[in-house]
C-alpha cells in the first residue's frame, strides 16, 4: 500500500523544477482563480485522468486556485454548454476561457498563462489591446486549434485569452486540442496549427503579433484588407502630402529597431520607428527564449512587451506603417501612406522572412499539406508520408521528429552533402531515413489535398514522389528591398553588407539585426541597433550644422 497522501501524489505529478516555478508564480496571483474541470466516464479516459491530475496539482500548490470538478452531463455542465471531455474553464463567472482537451505538452504553458491572466484581470492587458478592442460591439468566439507539440500555439492562444480578459462581455476564447478533438479539427479543416477561427467567419494560420491579432478580431477580416480599406479612405479624405522632418527614420520594430530608438533618442536625435506589422519581429513569434542575458527563460512575446514598453518611453513606434518608397538625397525621403519623412539618415532593421520554395502548389496547399513547422503539424500525418526539403539542422531535426511519429519520411536536398551538425547526420543515417540528393522540389501536386511532389535531379531526371505533406526547412531570406532601392551593397548571401559600426555602403544609411546576416541572435540585434544609432549621431554631428538650415558638404 502506498504511503503517499493524496496531496503528495498530486504535488509529485509535476517535476520539481516546474513545481517550484509554478508555486512562485501562484504566490504572486492578485486574486483567486477558479478552475472548473468537466469529465465523462469511458470516453477519453487517459486525457480525463491527466487533466484532473494537473488541475488537482495546481490546487495543491496554491490556496489562490480553487478547483471544482463536474461530470459533463451534470446540470452545471449543461449550464456551461460543455461539449467535449475533458474541458477546463478558467474563472467562468468572469470569463469564457476554456480548454477543450487535455493541456499536455505546450498546451500546458497556455493553461498556466491563462491562470496568470485571470489572476491579473484587466491590469495584465496592454493599453494598446484595450484601445483596439474598446469599440467592439458584437460578440466574438475565438477557437484556437492547437497541438501539444506546437511551440507556437501557446502564443496564439494567449492572444485570444488576453482578448477575452480585455472584453469579457463580448469575447470568448477556446483552446481546442487537435489530439483529442479530431472530429472538430476535421470539421474546421485544420491542417496546420495554430489554426484560428473567429465566429466561423474568418480563419488564420500561424502565430501572429498581438496587435495584429486584435485588429483582425475587431474587424473580422485579415489585417491586409483592413489596412487597404483605411488607406483608400485616407486617400479620398485628402490629397495633401504631409511632410515631417526627423533626424533618423528606423525601419523595423524588432529588437534592433527598438534598441536603436532608445539610443538615438538618448543621444539627442529625433527619430521614429516604422513597423509594417506588430513590434517584435521574429522574437514575437519565438516560443521560448533562454539565451538573452538577464532572462534564464522567457516567452518571446513577453520579451517583446518589455522591449516595446522600454522603447516607447523614448520614441514613437508607428505599427502597420509600411514604407512605400525611399529617395536618397541631402535629406533622405521615406514615404508611407500617411507621411513623407525627410530624414538626415535611415536605419534599416527590416529582418528576415521564412524562405519559401516558390513553386506551383505551395501557396495553394499552405496550411493543408504544406508546412514550415514539422513540430507543429507532424501529428496530423501519423501513418502517412512526408517530404522534408532542406539540408540544415532544422531539416534533419524535423525529419527525425517525423520518423519517430511513425511517418514515412524522405529528405530532398539540392546538394550532395548536408550542412547540419554531424550528430544529426549520424542520427538520420541510423534511423534509415531516405535521402534524395542533388534534387529540388519543383511542384506540389494535388486536387483537394497534397498527393505528390515533382522532384528534378540536377541531371534533369524527373520523379513524382507520393506524399501527404511537404515540410519546407530551407532557411530565411533578408528583407532588402529598401536597401536595394537606396543603393546599398549586399553580401553574396543576400544580406546587407555593413562595417563594424553598422554603416552600409551608402552614406547615412545604416543597417542592424537579422537583415545583416551573420550571428542572428536577439542579443546581437540589440547591440547592432545601439551601435547604429550611436554611429548615426556621430555622423550627423560631423555632417550637419543645424544652426544653418542646410547641410555641410556631405558629398
Question: DSSP 3-state assignment of 433?
Answer: coil
Question: DSSP 3-state assignment of 554?
Answer: coil
When comparing pLDDT for 545 and 125, which is higher?
125
Q: In whole angstroms, what is the distance from residue 275 CA to residue 317 CA?
A: 7
pLDDT, position 262? 97
pLDDT, position 236? 61
pLDDT, position 550? 46
Contact assessment for residue 515 and residue 496, using Cβ atoms and an 8 Å cutoff: yes
Computed over every residue of the chain, the mean pLDDT equals: 91
Above 80 in pLDDT, residue 3? no
3-state secondary structure 135-146: CCCCCEEEEEEE
Contact assessment for residue 409 and residue 401, using Cβ atoms and an 8 Å cutoff: no
| pLDDT tens by residue, 333-352 | 999 988 999 999 999 999 99
Q: In whole angstroms, what is the distance from residue 184 CA to residue 179 CA?
A: 10
Neighbours of 270 (CB within 10 A): 14
Name the band, by pLDDT with cuts 50, 70 and 90, for residue 553: very low
pLDDT, position 1? 40
When comparing pLDDT for 206 and 546, which is higher?
206
Pairing of strands 370-371, 469-472: parallel
Contact assessment for residue 204 and residue 193, using Cβ atoms and an 8 Å cutoff: no
55 is catalytic: no
Q: Which of 55, 153, 373, 488 is catalytic?
A: 373
pLDDT, position 239? 63
pLDDT, position 228? 77
Q: Which of 180, 377, 514, 539 is catalytic?
A: 377
Whole-angstrom CA distances from 65 to 10, 26, 240, 525 are 14, 8, 57, 40
Pairing of strands 450-457, 439-446: antiparallel
| pLDDT tens by residue, 187-230 | 999 989 999 999 999 999 998 888 889 999 999 998 888 877 77
Name the band, by pLDDT with cuts 50, 70 and 90, for residue 79: very high
pLDDT, position 240? 74
Above 90 in pLDDT, residue 268? yes
Whole-angstrom CA distances from 43 to 36, 39, 86 are 19, 9, 9
pLDDT, position 224? 82
User: pLDDT > 90: what percent of the chain?
Assistant: 74
493 is catalytic: no
Question: DSSP 3-state assignment of 132?
Answer: helix
pLDDT, position 481? 95
Above 80 in pLDDT, residue 145? yes
Whole-angstrom CA distances from 256 to 119, 267, 510 are 33, 16, 11
* 319-323, 416-420, 463-467: segment of lowest average pLDDT: 319-323
Q: Which of 55, 150, 271, 376 is catalytic?
A: 376
pLDDT, position 161? 97
When comparing pLDDT for 141 and 15, which is higher?
141
* 88-92, 102-106, 261-265: segment of lowest average pLDDT: 102-106
Q: Is the bond leading into 346 cis (omega within 30 degrees of zero)?
A: no
Above 70 in pLDDT, residue 555? no
pLDDT, position 20? 86
pLDDT, position 235? 60
3-state secondary structure 398-421: HHHHHHHCCCEEEEECCCCCCCCC
Q: Report the candidate in 475, 472, 451, 299 with the shortest Cα–Cα distance to residue 374.
A: 472
Q: What is the dihedral sign for C-alpha 168, 169, 170, 172?
A: positive
pLDDT, position 178? 95
When comparing pLDDT for 303 and 76, which is higher?
76
Q: Report the candidate in 103, 78, 106, 66 with the shortest Cα–Cα distance to residue 88.
A: 103
pLDDT, position 21? 85
The grid cell for 188 is 474546421
Above 70 in pLDDT, residue 552? no
Above 80 in pLDDT, residue 48? yes
pLDDT, position 7? 75
By the 10 Å C-beta count (0-12 exposed, 13-18 middle, 19+ buried), 348 is classed as buried
pLDDT, position 554? 38
pLDDT, position 549? 46
Q: Which helix (H) or strand (E) holds 436?
A: strand 434-436
Question: DSSP 3-state assignment of 545?
Answer: strand
Amino acid at each position: 500500500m502506498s504511503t503517499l497522501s493524496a496531496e503528495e501524489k498530486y504535488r509529485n505529478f509535476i517535476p520539481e523544477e516546474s513545481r517550484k516555478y509554478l508555486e512562485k508564480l501562484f504566490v504572486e496571483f492578485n486574486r483567486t482563480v477558479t478552475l472548473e474541470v468537466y469529465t465523462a466516464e469511458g470516453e477519453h479516459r487517459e486525457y480525463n485522468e491527466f487533466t484532473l491530475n494537473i488541475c488537482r496539482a495546481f490546487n495543491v500548490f496554491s490556496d489562490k486556485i480553487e478547483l471544482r470538478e463536474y461530470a459533463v452531463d451534470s446540470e452545471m455542465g449543461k449550464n456551461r454548454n460543455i461539449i467535449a471531455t475533458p474541458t477546463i474553464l478558467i474563472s467562468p463567472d468572469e470569463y469564457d476561457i476554456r480548454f477543450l482537451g487535455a493541456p499536455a505538452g505546450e498546451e500546458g504553458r497556455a493553461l498556466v498563462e491563462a491562470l496568470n491572466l485571470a489572476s491579473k484581470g484587466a491590469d495584465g492587458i496592454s493599453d494598446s489591446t484595450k484601445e483596439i478592442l474598446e469599440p467592439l460591439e458584437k460578440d466574438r468566439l475565438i477557437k484556437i486549434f492547437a497541438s501539444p507539440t506546437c511551440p507556437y500555439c501557446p502564443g496564439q492562444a494567449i492572444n485570444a485569452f488576453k482578448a477575452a480578459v480585455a472584453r469579457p462581455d463580448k469575447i470568448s476564447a477556446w483552446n481546442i486540442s487537435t489530439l483529442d478533438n479530431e472530429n472538430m479539427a476535421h470539421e474546421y479543416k485544420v491542417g496546420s496549427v495554430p489554426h484560428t477561427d473567429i465566429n466561423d467567419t474568418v480563419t488564420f494560420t500561424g502565430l501572429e503579433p498581438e496587435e495584429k491579432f486584435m485588429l483582425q478580431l475587431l474587424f473580422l477580416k485579415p489585417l491586409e484588407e483592413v489596412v487597404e480599406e483605411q488607406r483608400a479612405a485616407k486617400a479620398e479624405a485628402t490629397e495633401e502630402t504631409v511632410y515631417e522632418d526627423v533626424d533618423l527614420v528606423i525601419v523595423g520594430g524588432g529588437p534592433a529597431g527598438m534598441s536603436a530608438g532608445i539610443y538615438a533618442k538618448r543621444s539627442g536625435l529625433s527619430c521614429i520607428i516604422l513597423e509594417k506589422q506588430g513590434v517584435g519581429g521574429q522574437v514575437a513569434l519565438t516560443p521560448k527564449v533562454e539565451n538573452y542575458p538577464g532572462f534564464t527563460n522567457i516567452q518571446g512575446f513577453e520579451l517583446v512587451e518589455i522591449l516595446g514598453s522600454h522603447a516607447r518611453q523614448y520614441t514613437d513606434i508607428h505599427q502597420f506603417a509600411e514604407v512605400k518608397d525611399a529617395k536618397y538625397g541631402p535629406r533622405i525621403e521615406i514615404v508611407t501612406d500617411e507621411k513623407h519623412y525627410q530624414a538626415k539618415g535611415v536605419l534599416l532593421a527590416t529582418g528576415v522572412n521564412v524562405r519559401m520554395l516558390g513553386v506551383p502548389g505551395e501557396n495553394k496547399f499552405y496550411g493543408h499539406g504544406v508546412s514550415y513547422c514539422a513540430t507543429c503539424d507532424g501529428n496530423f500525418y501519423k501513418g502517412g508520408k512526408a517530404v522534408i526539403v532542406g539540408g540544415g539542422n532544422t531539416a534533419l531535426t524535423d525529419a527525425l521528429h517525423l520518423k519517430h511519429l511513425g511517418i514515412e519520411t524522405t529528405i530532398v536536398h539540392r546538394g550532395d552533402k548536408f550542412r547540419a551538425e554531424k550528430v544529426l547526420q549520424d542520427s538520420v543515417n541510423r534511423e534509415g531515413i531516405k535521402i534524395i540528393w542533388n534534387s529540388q522540389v519543383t511542384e506540389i501536386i494535388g486536387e483537394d489535398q497534397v498527393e505528390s511532389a515533382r522532384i528534378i535531379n540536377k541531371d534533369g531526371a524527373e520523379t513524382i514522389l507520393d506524399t501527404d505533406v511537404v515540410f519546407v526547412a530551407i532557411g530565411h531570406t533578408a528583407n532588402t528591398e529598401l536597401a536595394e532601392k537606396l543603393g546599398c551593397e549586399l553580401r553574396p548571401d543576400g544580406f546587407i553588407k555593413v562595417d563594424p559600426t553598422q554603416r552600409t555602403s551608402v552614406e547615412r544609411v545604416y543597417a542592424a539585426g537579422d537583415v545583416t546576416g551573420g550571428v542572428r541572435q536577439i542579443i546581437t540585434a540589440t547591440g547592432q541597433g545601439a551601435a547604429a544609432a550611436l554611429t548615426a549621431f556621430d555622423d550627423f554631428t560631423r555632417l550637419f550644422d543645424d544652426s544653418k538650415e542646410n547641410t555641410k558638404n556631405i558629398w
